[in-house]
Structure 1
Amino acid sequence: MSNSGRKTPRLVADKRTPKSKKKKPAPKRRKTPARRSRKRTPSRNPIVRLFRGLFGWIFRIIWGIGWRVTAVVALIVGVAVAYTYTTLPPVNELLDGRARGSVTLLDREGEVFAWRGDTFGGVVTSDTVSEHLKNAVIATEDKRFYMHPGVDPIGIASAIRINLSEGRGPLSGHGGSTLTQQTAKLLCLGVEYDKSEWESEADYVADCRRGSLARKAKEAVFAMAMEAKYTKDQILSIYLNRAYMGGGAYGAEAAAQRYFGKSAGQLEPQEAAILAGLLTAPTRLAPTSNLKRSQDRAATVLRLMNEQGFLSDTQTAAAQASPATLSEAAQAQTGGYFADWVMDAGPEFFTRDTTEDVIIKTTLDQRMQAAAEDALKYIFEEKVREGSKAQAAIVVMSADGAVRAMVGGRKSKVTGAFNRATMARRQTGSAFKPFVYATALELGYTYDSTVVDEPYCLDIPGSGRWCPENYTRKHYGRVTLERALRDSLNVPAVKVSESVGRDLVRKVASDFGIESDLADGPALALGASESTLLEMTGAYAGILNGGSSVTPYGLVELKLLGDDAPLMGAGGGIGERVIREEAARELIYMMHKVVHGGTGGRAQLPDREAAGKTGTTQAARDAWFLGFTADYVAGVWMGYDDNTPLTGVTGGGLPAEIWHETMVRVHEGIPPKPLPMIHPKPKPQVQQEPLRRQQRRNGGNRGNPIENILRGILGMD
């Protein structure tokens, strides 16, 4: 076969790769694990599949309901907060929330010695108070105060944990309340006190302090609204002004003045710790109730301040080593009986029920008050058997009736207690006799007029025969009026009273200030009538001042806080004349002899003249000593509240000694003055002219024949 026209085929195969170019090796890839399929292989166990389906269904229901409920609750809370926000007043209207005003009592020198009512020292802010007080409150009450929105979930969770660990319910005990919530509670969630809606202010406060779940919810809403309305410092300012801090003090300024006698802006760390510490229990922890307990609490507050960086270790150690102490006014324990008496004696709308802040200046002398308290304590510690329940009272006053000291019982550091100086009406015994002799002297008798001390009886209509006896059960014949009073003889006192007339004796005693109902019978002369120690001391002051009546008083001036002009002045003082000055001078001389040579010998003072009279009632149920120097009058009563007879006590015994101890202390540093009394010249020893002849010659009794006959029958000369 011919190959013409065709190409001869190659005898070898063609190469499949290019000649000139070599293929680069491909980059090595990282080995990755095979992806897991997202699609889970269904379990072949039907029970597991059932539970998984049920759980998913429940979860979807809870989630679907939960977020919707949460949204609804959030919306409701938001609306409630927004509404509450609109009801909140300006912050300056919330700083003083007291329902009543306060009364501040000043002594005769103008120094504060007592407070009554709801004391408010004035508005303070978080900027004007001591930084230590601000830090102490935050450290104690709410350390996350500047971080939460009014409610602190962390604090609530911590409170629940503590409550459960202590075996209580989750909401019992610690509440986890923030400082804002506490302030909301102080504001009573915006509900103001209305007398017409509440039986008392205490009921209103108790309702504000309720801790139910509904109340807690309202409190939380109110707190969040406050956080939206006010700044943190404004909220703190409201709290510092409205918080009750014990002792009747509302707010930091009142408490600082009450306990330490200084402004809230001047408090030292240990003082600030005292105030912050008592916020949890202001009545129990008040330093005036128990200073040691208050100081122990303050030490804990100082430690908290240190832990939170408010105090250095050095500052903390120094403050704990030198705990805060009370001011002198605070140590006086709210003025005791005297302050109570002034409050009761003043106008009710300016004292007990005042809605204003009132300042009352009084007659109190704190040095003399301490003197009386120390004297009473000394006698009961040194001269009265241990465990005795006997009581005593003391009143010290000037001759014009200005009361300088008052002790109404053995426990002097009290408030609102039974005041035996002003409230106890007791028989006066022989302490009444000066008014019998004052009547006689006013009618023309003299200190050396005589009366026969002898067995003596009277027929009392409706009561039968009455025969008074002397304490010694003896008779001494003819005695002068001076001796009859000096030795406290009963028969001569009754004879003189019957001679001058009981009606006149009652009138003189009443004019001197004894306002109690006076006995009608002849026992009037022996003090069968009842009176108070204050009345009796005031009546003796009338003798000292020359025979003019006296109204005891303690209030000198009353004015409103911030006003210069007083609303009222003194409510007592010297009144009308009762007996002639000469008669008063003779009576003072006779009473001087009681102390210097008579039944009141234990009352003698070492450096000055004194006059007075003892008094012991039937069965020794009451023992009295009342007397005076040229400067001051003092009265002492001793007895049992239940009228149990005293054992071995008469007016010339322990009461005279209490009087002596009181007046020695009262007169420290006061130069002695002579008593305003007569000084008779010694008389020659001649027979004394009978009183009847003296009075006929001198025109005594204006020639009343009936009275002269009566004197002759009674044996009076």
Structure 2
Amino acid sequence: MGKRRSGAKPRLGRTERMLRGAFTGVFGWIWWIGLRMAVLFGLILAVSTAYYLNKLPPLDDLLDGRDRGSVTLLDEQDSVFAWRGQQLGLLRAEDASPHLVNAIVATEDRRFYWHFGIDIKGTLRALLVNARAGTTVQGGSSITQQVAKLLYFDNSRTLERKIKEIPAAIALDLKFSKEEILSIYLNRAYLGAGATGFEAASQRYFGKSARDVTPSEAAMLAGLLRAPSRFAPTHNLNAAQERAGVIVGLMEDQGYLTTAQAEAARARPAVLSRAAAARAGGEFADWIMSSGPDFLTRRTTEDIEVLTTFDPRIQKAAEEALSYVFKNKVREGSNAQAAIVVMSPDGAVRGMVGGRDLGGSDGQFNRATQALRQTGSLFKTFVFASALQNGASPNDTILDAPLTINVPGSGPWSPQNYTRDYKGTISLADAYANSINTATIRLAEITGRARVRAVAEDLGVFSPIAEGPALALGTSEATLLEMTGAYAGILNKGVRAKPYGIRELRLRSDGTRLMGADSGMPVRVLDERAAGEMVWMMRNVVEHGTGTRASLGERPAAGKTGTTQAARDAWFIGFTRDYVTGVWMGYDNNTPLKGVSGGGLPADIWRETMLRVEDGLPMRPLPELEPRAPLPVPNLPSPSQMVENVGQTVQSVVRDVLGGLFGSN
């Protein structure tokens, strides 16, 4: 046998040659198909990128992506206390605090400055994590991809959307610089509490521009990108601070902060501004948004500033008073609700508590403005006011005795007094101070239900008022805001005091005035004599009537209690010379209150509120008038007399009309 020459390749066997040929063939086909697929993918990517590139407008058109404007609410001292709508403050990356830019890059895309819009390494890592989890748990999107999503796509996490992001992100990277892409991101990202963009969020949470945020504040803002609602510091400050601490660590690891800077940021975490921390006036702000012009509040396309009548000091006083009474005078665990409205005599609302926070799902329901409740004895004020306006005097007398009225369609109605006893002939002042039912009904029938209803409506009760004789006892429903405004008209010397909260609306950009408070022409409902005597009668309620628990000591105060049937609602509305305050208490499900009347806990809440509201203010006398000498007031006429009187009245009206048409003869 001859020797194989050195260096000669060994000959392959037949099987080996077949396997190698097959492998070469398969690899060739794979290469052939793969090359063509790559070319096809490249063409599709190029066409898609060109499509998105062609759709991209100039940079300035991309900075504000909101579909509606913002509303910033200012209190009576022109300080911001609430925000609504989609807040925005335009900010370019080069103007932002370097700490903010660094925090965003460190958190969202550490290779942002070096890739071409797509972070391939980050994307592959996210695909691996999601494959292991069996669902989408990690985004892996670059900042540029997130901008593409904000511009073109929804928040769904689908493979189709992720694929579409790729050409859109490349198009962005081709057209804009890294600073410009960051600028779009800084202005379009939603960061909780109605804030769109980092400038709006910085103003919302810290009361300062994003140009001036510290490392700890920058870290907290960047932390909102992951979950704006969960990490919003107004929702959970501790969670926001913990998330910010993680981001401070990322900034330190990537060299954006020195060890000393990072330790200082951890030692002094970001905190909310005073206005953001207080979260005062939320229900007041919601009322403004619902009552103001729709096109300038809920659907505004502009950034609007609303100058309001809100007073944070008074708001705090009302909140503290409510908390104090329920903590010290109500059994623990009670689900009873209460609401408070404080306004000036002209109707300017200064503070509003829409209810207690019981941790349920009813936080958006404002019992001060939305809850229609029976008014009970509060309505008696309109009965006595209409009588005074019709010429009666507080010293005039009325009969307090059993009474039966035949109500058409219902039959006999025999109302009773709360105390179940009767005092005989008493003065109107005593009947009002002691909230006596039968005397009030007699007075309403003598004065005329139509007059009573007209006075209530003219003073500002716009909810429907009952037609029958029971209207005198407050069987109709109204809101606390309505009733407090109606009582303000009495303090306002008989001139209607329509509740309002807006002083002025203006453009935030340049201060252009859009509208002011619509005071309209003054509407006099009661003459000054009737209003002054009504104030005098209301002061008697507090001094020796049903409202003695509302007494403010030496400070003059007046008011009226109200309790509905079965004590489902308990009210107290009263005033000093400076402010009118209304209090309602009850259960949302109409469960009767146990052992509570208007002269009890509502009067206590009113007193605690007014002690805090009036603290430091000088004592001022009420605009009351001493009643003149009494005149006899007839008792309720018999049915035959009432029919006769009505007939005579109708004949008189017909005679006057005919006389006007055809002459005095």
Provide TM-score, normalisation by structure 1.
0.85
Corresponding position of 2:500: 553
1:304 matched to 2:304: no
**Are residues 1:107 and 2:75 paired?**
yes
Gaps of 5+ in 2: 635-643, 650-665
Equivalent residue number for residue 596 of structure 1? 543
TM-fit CA distance, 1:572:
4.2
Q: Structure 1 residue 214: deviation in Å?
A: 2.6
1:181 to 139, 145, 154: 145
1:40-59 paired onto structure 2 within 5 Å: 40-44=9-13, 46-59=14-27
2:314 is matched with 368
Opposite residue 12 of structure 2, the aligned amino acid is S
- Equivalent residues, number: 635
> Identity of counterpart residues, as a percentage?
54
Q: Deviations over 1:9-49 (max 9, x none)?
A: xxxxxxxxxxxxxxxxxxxxxxxxx9963x521134x3333
| Cα distance change of structure 1 residues 139 and 125 upon mapping to structure 2, 3 Å threshold | same
Q: Structure 1 residues 352 and 246 mapped into 2: Cα distance closer, same or farther (>3 Å)?
A: same
Determine helix, strand or coil for the equivalent of 1:634: strand
C-alpha contact 1:457 1:465 (8 A) present in aligned 2: yes
SS of match in other structure, 1:627: strand
Task: Give me the TM-score of the superposition, normalised by structure 2.
Answer: 0.92
Distance in 1, matches of 2:55 and 2:268, equals 46
2:123 to 129, 138, 156: 156
* C-alpha contact (below 8 Å) 1:102/1:357 kept by paired residues: yes
How many angstroms apart in 2 are the aligned matches of 1:392 and 1:116? 25
- Partner of residue 639, structure 1: 586
Per the alignment, residue 411 of structure 2 pairs with 464
1:631: how far off? 0.2
Contact 1:550/1:574 (8 A) holds in 2: no
Partner of 2:55: 87
Amino acid across the alignment from 1:186: L
Q: 1:138 to 1:607 in 2, by over 3 A?
A: farther
* Residue from 386, 401, 419 that aligns with 1:439: 386
After superposition, residues 556-635 of structure 1 pair within 5 angstroms as 556-572=503-519, 575-635=522-582
Any idea what SS the aligned residue of 2:82 has?
strand
Once residues 405 and 377 of structure 1 are traced to their aligned partners in structure 2, the CA distance between those partners, rounded to angstroms, is 15
Distance, in Å, in 2 between the alignment partners of 1:510 and 1:570 is: 22
Could you tell me whether the CA contact under 8 Å between 2:394 and 2:630 is conserved in 1?
Answer: no
Whether 1:425 aligns to 2:392 is no
Q: Is the 8 A contact 1:363 1:556 kept in 2?
A: yes
Shift in Å at residue 679 of structure 1?
4.6
Give the Å deviation of 1:73.
Answer: 2.2
1:528-550 CA-partner distances (Å, limit 9, x unpaired): 11111111000100000111112
Distance 1:220 1:516, change over 3 A: same
Asked if residue 357 in structure 1 is aligned to residue 303 in structure 2, the reply is yes
Range moving further from structure 2, 413-422 or 83-92: 413-422
Give me the whole-angstrom Cα distance separating, in 2, the residues matched to 1:243 and 1:416. 27
Name the structure 2 match of 1:691.
632
| Cα deviation digits, residues 647-696 of structure 1 (max 9, x gap) | 11100011001111111111122111111112579xxxxxx976259xxx
Contact 1:336 1:415 in 2 (8 A): no
Q: In 2, distance between residues paired with 1:587 and 1:279?
A: 59
Question: Match of 1:168?
Answer: 134
Query: How far is 1:585 from its partner?
Result: 1.1
> Counterparts of 1:84 and 1:619 in 2: how far apart (Å)?
69
Question: CA separation of 1:82/1:518 partners in 2, compared to 1, >3 Å: closer, same or farther?
Answer: closer
Stretches of structure 1 that go unaligned for 5 or more consecutive residues are: 1-33, 190-207, 682-687, 694-704, 711-717
Q: CA deviation at 1:607?
A: 4.2
Supply the distance in 2 between the matched residues of 1:679 and 1:296 (Cα, whole angstroms). 65
- For 1:515 and 1:237, the matched residues in 2 are separated by 51
1:272 corresponds to 2:218: yes
Distance in 1 separating the partners of 2:365 and 2:473: 27
Contact residue 281 and residue 351 of structure 2 kept, 8 A: no
Letter in 2 for 1:449: D
Secondary structure of the residue that 1:675 maps to in structure 2?
A: coil
Aligned pairs for 1:83-482 within 5 A: 83-121=51-89, 123-165=90-132, 167-169=133-135, 172-188=136-152, 208-333=154-279, 335-411=281-357, 417-482=364-429
SS at match of 1:378: helix
Aligned to 2:661: none
Q: Distance in 1 between matches of 2:397 and 2:188?
A: 72
Which residue of structure 2 aligns with residue 78 of structure 1? 46
Shift of 1:606: 3.2
Give secondary structure in 1 for the equivalent of 2:252.
helix
Which letter does structure 2 place at the counterpart of 1:75?
A: L
**What value does the CA root-mean-square deviation take over the aligned residues?**
2.3
Cα displacement (A) at 1:71: 2.9
* Structure 1 position 482, deviation (Å): 1.1
2:347, 2:497 within 8 Å by CA — same for their partners in 1?
yes
Q: Aligned in 2, Cα 1:388/1:674: closer, same or farther, shift over 3 Å?
A: same
Q: Is the 8 Å Cα contact of residues 558 and 568 (structure 1) preserved in structure 2?
A: yes
Q: Cα deviation per residue 1:153-192 (whole Å; 9 max; x = unaligned)?
A: 1112222333345x335xx221311110001001115xxx
- Aligned pair in 2 of structure 1 residues 118, 412: CA closer, same or farther (>3 Å)? farther
Shift of 1:334: 7.1
Residue equivalent to 1:530: 477
Give how far 1:574 is off: 7.5
Q: 1:283 to 1:343 in 2, by over 3 A?
A: same
- Per the alignment, do residues 304 and 180 of structure 1 end up closer, same or farther by CA in structure 2, a change over 3 Å counting? same
383-392 vs 394-403, which moves further: 383-392
Taking the aligned partners of 2:231 and 2:542, their CA distance within structure 1 comes to 49
Give distance in 2, aligned partners of 1:345 and 1:690. 45
User: SS state of the match for residue 187, structure 1?
Assistant: helix
